């Protein structure tokens, strides 16, 4: 057991579990990034509900949401870290794991602060339906991300996380990776989006996605309908072109936007201490 508040010890243990030779492309990193994003992406600015406090996916109403299918793998990967550092809240562990995974996979350093609290029951969970639907277009993307308080630029920057990982037919119904090396954080996703000839394909399960065959990967790479909506919408496309050209600009903008995402629903005082613990019914873990 580490000293309470020793987040460096937690970070080191997260980093050391990323290598998972038996799992997907050999890394737990991508699914950890997705867990972090889905833990925060329920935020609704208008009602100040949802967000990265609470770790609501521990409860069936949120964890069993089809939009969160597959994220139990990420939670299971992190369980030994929670056992070793019982003082860390799940809400902190999940967000920190995303930040550590991005860095370890060659991405930018993202600033992160602890202090999130865990719900003690399932009475304050955000309703289902707040996460994006990949079969939709630009209007839907804006409706989802404006609700959280993001701009078009931030939406495109965050979408660059699809440099990582893959779609699984038994989770989302979509299938395949976006890039040839899906455990390396880069701006390849934007480059491929702009330069490849994406063809629509209907999978055996009836789901529609976009593909092209990549010789180097030896497999079909893919784009979701929402990914390609970033090309057809001029305001989104402006940022796709910038991020495809300039990796450093993408890394800096991604780091800022991901930090903002991880802070959704969290209010801090001047010293950085989380003050809005009152939304956690029945008190919170100290
Ligand atoms: C995977 C949709 C935004 C990070 C996926 C999958 C879908 C999806 C359908 C495949 C899940 C599976 O079958 O395992 C979307 C949509 C988005 C969006 C519709 C917005 C319009 C984001 C954002 C991030 C992110 C903002 C992070 C900043 C990831 C990662 C994976 C993933 C890392 C790979 C997970 C793995 O390999 O297991 N996303 N996503 N996505 N998404 Fe997104």
- Cβ contacts of 278 within 8 Å, gap of 6 or more: none
Expressed in angstroms and rounded, the spacing between residue 5 Cα and the centre of ligand 1 is 30
CB of residue 168 inside a 6 A radius of ligand 1: yes
Q: Which atom of ligand 1 is nearest to the CA of 261?
A: 28
Query: What pLDDT is recorded for position 96?
Result: 98
Q: How far, in Å, is the centroid of ligand 1 from the Cα of 198?
A: 19
pLDDT in tens, 206-257: 999 999 999 988 889 999 999 999 999 999 999 999 999 999 999 999 999 9
C-alpha Rg value of the chain to the nearest Å:
18
With a CB cutoff of 8 Å and minimum separation 6, the contacts of 5 are 87, 114
- Domains in the chain (CATH in brackets) are 7-131 (1.10.520.10), 138-254 (1.10.420.10)
Task: Give me 211's structure tokens.
Answer: 């593909």
Q: What is the pLDDT of residues 102-135, one digit of tens each?
A: 999 999 999 999 999 999 999 999 999 999 999 9
Among the listed residues 38, 73, 85, 162, the single catalytic one is: 38
Q: Which of 162, 172, 183 to mutate to test the pocket of ligand 1 (most atoms within 8 A of CB)?
A: 162
**Set 37, 94, 112, 178: catalytic member:** 178
Q: What is the DSSP string of the chain?
A: -PPTT-HHHHHHHHHHH-B-TTSTTTBSHHHHHHHHHHHHTT-BTTTTB-SSSB-GGGSHHHHTSGGGTTHHHHHHHHHHHHHH-TTS-HHHHHHHHHHHHHHHTT-----------B-SSSTTPPPS--S--TT--HHHHHHHHHHHT--HHHHHHHHGGGGS-EE-TTTTS--EESSSSTTS-SSHHHHHHHHS--EEEE-TTS-EEEEEEETTTTEEEEE-HHHHHHHHSHHHHHHHHHHHH-HHHHHHHHHHHHHHHHTTT--B-TTS-B---TTSTT----
| pLDDT for the residue 286 | 39
Query: What digits encode the pLDDT tens for the residues 26-82?
Result: 999 999 999 999 999 999 999 999 999 999 999 999 999 999 999 999 999 999 999
Position 278 pLDDT exceeds 90: no
In this prediction, what percent of the chain has a pLDDT beyond 90?
Answer: 93
**What was the pLDDT predicted at 217?**
81
- pLDDT at residue 281 tops 90: no
* pLDDT digit string, tens, across residues 152-196: 999 999 999 999 999 999 999 999 999 999 999 999 999 999 999
ipTM exceeds 0.95, yes or no: yes
Q: Is the CB of 138 under 6 A from ligand 1?
A: no
178 labelled catalytic? yes
């Amino acid at each position: 057991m580490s000293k309470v508040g020793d987040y460096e010890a937690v970070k080191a243990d997260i980093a050391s579990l990323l290598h998972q030779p038996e799992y997907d492309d050999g890394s737990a990193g991508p699914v950890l990034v997705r867990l972090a994003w889905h833990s925060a992406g329920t935020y609704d600015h208008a009602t100040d509900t949802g967000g990265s406090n609470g770790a609501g996916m521990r409860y069936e109403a949120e964890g069993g949401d089809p939009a969160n299918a597959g994220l139990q793998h990420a939670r299971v990967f992190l369980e030994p870290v929670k056992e070793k550092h019982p003082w860390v809240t799940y809400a902190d562990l999940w967000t920190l794991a995303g930040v550590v995974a991005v860095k370890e996979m060659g991405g930018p350093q993202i600033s992160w602060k602890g202090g999130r609290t865990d719900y003690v029951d399932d009475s304050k969970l955000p309703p289902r339906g707040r996460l994006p639907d990949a079969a939709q277009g630009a209007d839907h993307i804006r409706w989802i991300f404006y609700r959280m308080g993001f701009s078009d630029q931030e939406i495109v920057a965050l979408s660059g996380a699809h440099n990582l990982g893959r779609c699984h037919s038994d989770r989302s119904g979509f299938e395949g990776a976006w890039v040839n090396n899906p455990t390396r954080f880069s701006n390849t996703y934007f480059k491929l989006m702009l330069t490849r000839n994406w063809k629509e394909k209907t999978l055996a399960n009836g789901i529609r996605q976009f593909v092209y065959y990549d010789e180097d990967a030896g497999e079909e790479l893919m784009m979701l309908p929402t990914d390609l909506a970033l090309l057809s919408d001029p305001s989104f496309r402006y940022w796709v072109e910038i991020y495809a050209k300039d990796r450093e600009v993408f890394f800096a903008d991604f780091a800022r936007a991901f930090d903002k995402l991880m802070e959704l629903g969290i209010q801090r005082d001047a010293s950085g201490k989380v003050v809005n613990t009152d939304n956690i019914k029945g008190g919170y873990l100290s």
